[in-house]
Amino acid sequence: MREVAIIGVGQTKFGELWDQNLRDIFAEAALKAMEDAKIDKIDSIYVGAMSGGLYNHQEHLASLMADYIGQSGAAGARVEAACSSGGQAARIGYMEVASGLSDFVLVGGVEKMWDTDDSTFVLATAADQEYEAYNGVTFPGLYAMMAQVYMQRYGLTREELAAVPIKNHKHGKNNPYAQYPFEIDLKAVLNSAPVADPLRLLDCSPITDGAAAIILAPLEIARKFTDKPVKIRGIGAATGPIALHDHKDLAKIDSVRISAEKAYKFANVSPSDIDFAEVHDCFSIAEIIVAEELGFFDYGTAGKAIAEGQATYGGKLVINPSGGLKSKGHPVGATGVAQLIEATLQLQGRAGKRQIENARLGLTQNMGGSGGSSVVHILEAI
Amino acid sequence: MREVAIIGVGQTKFGELWDQNLRDIFAEAALKAMEDAKIDKIDSIYVGAMSGGLYNHQEHLASLMADYIGQSGAAGARVEAACSSGGQAARIGYMEVASGLSDFVLVGGVEKMWDTDDSTFVLATAADQEYEAYNGVTFPGLYAMMAQVYMQRYGLTREELAAVPIKNHKHGKNNPYAQYPFEIDLKAVLNSAPVADPLRLLDCSPITDGAAAIILAPLEIARKFTDKPVKIRGIGAATGPIALHDHKDLAKIDSVRISAEKAYKFANVSPSDIDFAEVHDCFSIAEIIVAEELGFFDYGTAGKAIAEGQATYGGKLVINPSGGLKSKGHPVGATGVAQLIEATLQLQGRAGKRQIENARLGLTQNMGGSGGSSVVHILEAI
User: If residue A97 lies in a helix (H) or strand (E), which one and from where to where?
Assistant: helix A85-99
Which of A62, A75, A125 minimises the CB distance to B58?
A125
CB contact under 8 A, A130 and B21: yes
d(CA A193, CA B51): 34
Q: What's residue B341's pLDDT?
A: 98
Could you tell me if A262 and A237 are in contact, meaning their C-beta atoms sit under 8 angstroms apart?
yes
Which of A64, A75, A255 minimises the CB distance to B242?
A64
Mean pLDDT over B222-243 rounds to 97
**Which amino acid appears at position B67 of this protein?**
D
Q: What's residue A11's pLDDT?
A: 98
Strand, coil or helix: B169: helix
Cα-Cα-Cα-Cα dihedral of B200, A60, B375, B243, to 10°?
Answer: 60
Q: Tell whether A88 lies on the interface with B, counting CB pairs under 8 A.
A: yes
Mean pLDDT over B286-310 rounds to 98
d(CA A292, CA A379): 20
> Any alpha helices (H) in chain B, and if so which ranges?
22-37, 52-56, 61-68, 85-99, 119-124, 139-154, 158-161, 163-172, 186-191, 219-222, 254-267, 284-293, 302-307, 324-328, 332-348
Separation in Å, CA A280 to CA A249, A364, B179, B230, B234: 19, 8, 44, 41, 38
Q: How does residue A55 score in pLDDT terms, banded at 50, 70 and 90?
A: very high
* Shortest distance, CA A339 to any CA of chain B (angstroms): 18
Mutation to test the B interface, candidates A55, A59, A253, A257, most B Cβ within 10 Å: A59
Q: Tell me the sheet residues that pair with A291.
A: none
Q: Which fold has domain B123-202+233-381?
A: Peroxisomal Thiolase; Chain A, domain 1 (3.40.47)
How buried is B80 (Cβ within 10 angstroms: 0-12 exposed, 13-18 middle, 19+ buried)?
buried
Mutation to test the B interface, candidates A97, A239, A245, A257, most B Cβ within 10 Å: A239
Could you tell me which CATH class the domain B4-118+208-230 is placed in?
Answer: alpha beta
Complex ipTM value: 0.97
Could you tell me if A65 and A23 are in contact, meaning their C-beta atoms sit under 8 angstroms apart?
yes
Comparing C-alpha atoms, which of A69, A294, A262, A373 is closest to residue B76? A373
Q: How does residue A105 score in pLDDT terms, banded at 50, 70 and 90?
A: very high
Q: How far apart are the first and last CA of chain B?
A: 19
* Shortest distance, CA A65 to any CA of chain B (angstroms): 9
Q: What's residue B232's pLDDT?
A: 98
Which of B57, B67, B72 minimises the CB distance to A129?
B57
Q: Tell whether B58 lies on the interface with A, counting CB pairs under 8 A.
A: yes
Query: For the segment B127-167, what is each residue's pLDDT rounded down to a tens digit?
Result: 999 999 999 999 999 999 999 999 999 999 999 999 999 99
Q: What is the CATH number of domain A155-203+232-381?
A: 3.40.47.10
Q: What's residue A112's pLDDT?
A: 98
Query: For the segment A328-374, what is each residue's pLDDT rounded down to a tens digit?
Result: 999 999 999 999 999 999 999 999 999 999 999 999 999 999 999 99
Q: Please indicate whether residue B282 is annotated as part of the active site.
A: no
The answer for B 25-44 residues in CB contact with A (under 8 A) is 44
Separation in Å, CA B329 to CA B12, B178, B179, B289: 11, 6, 5, 20
**Which amino acid appears at position B185 of this protein?**
D
Comparing C-alpha atoms, which of A330, A335, A343 is closest to residue A366? A335
Residues in CB range of A37: below 8 A, 6 or more apart:
A7, A8, A104, A215, A217, A225, A226
Q: How does residue A326 score in pLDDT terms, banded at 50, 70 and 90?
A: very high
Same fold, A4-118+208-230 and A155-203+232-381: yes
The answer for A 247-266 residues in CB contact with B (under 8 A) is 254-255, 258-259, 262
Which of B50, B100, B101 minimises the CB distance to A59?
B50
d(CA A158, CA A168): 17
Mean pLDDT of chain B: 98
CB contact under 8 A, B1 and A74: no
Mean pLDDT of chain A: 98
Cβ-based neighbour number of residue A263 at 10 Å: 26
Query: For the segment A195-209, what is each residue's pLDDT rounded down to a tens digit?
Result: 999 999 999 999 999
Contact list, A76 vs chain B (CB under 8 Å): 81, 237, 239, 373
Query: For the segment A11-47, what is each residue's pLDDT rounded down to a tens digit?
Result: 999 999 999 999 999 999 999 999 999 999 999 999 9
Could you tell me if B288 and B276 are in contact, meaning their C-beta atoms sit under 8 angstroms apart?
no
CB contact under 8 A, B92 and A77: yes
Residues in CB range of A279: below 8 A, 6 or more apart:
A287, A290, A291, A294, A319, A320, A324, A363, A364, A365
Q: Please indicate whether residue B204 is annotated as part of the active site.
A: no
Q: What's residue A378's pLDDT?
A: 98
* Shortest distance, CA A64 to any CA of chain B (angstroms): 5
Q: What's residue B262's pLDDT?
A: 98
Q: How far apart are the first and last CA of chain A?
A: 19
CB contact under 8 A, A373 and B60: yes
The structural domains of chain A, with segments of one domain joined by +, span 4-118+208-230, 155-203+232-381
Mean pLDDT over A104-115 rounds to 98
Q: Tell me the sheet residues that pair with A381.
A: A230
Q: How does residue A226 score in pLDDT terms, banded at 50, 70 and 90?
A: very high
Q: Tell me the sheet residues that pair with A169.
A: none
Comparing C-alpha atoms, which of B279, B298, B301 is closest to residue B290? B279
